[in-house]
Amino acid sequence: MAVITDRGILRTFLEEVRGHVPALESEVRRLREPGTPDNVMDEVHRLAHTIRSASEMIGLAHLAEAARGWSRWRRTGPGRRG
């Protein structure tokens, strides 16, 4: 996988991820609360999928793999039958 070095593309990636990472952290914290609605797990999956896809596109394999783990967790996370 080639790593993208174009500063404009990297800047756009960072802007996007800067918004998604705090949102992902917030949603994961919500999962610890009793009675968390299913849509919270859906949001965790959506955010992780977006981070994974963007990371893959610019060649950040390690970040993409970490986000893939969160994305998979949707099927096996708390209260899920996987």
How many degrees, rounded to 5, is the angle at CA 55 between CA 50 and CA 72? 55
Report pTM.
0.76
pLDDT at 70: 76
pLDDT tens-digit series, residues 15-33: 989 999 999 999 989 988 8
> What DSSP assignment string belongs to 11-52?
HHHHHHHHHHHHHHHHHHHHHTSTT--HHHHHHHHHHHHHHH
Does 81 have pLDDT greater than 80? no
Q: How much is the mean pLDDT over the chain?
A: 83
pLDDT tens-digit series, residues 52-65: 999 998 898 888 99
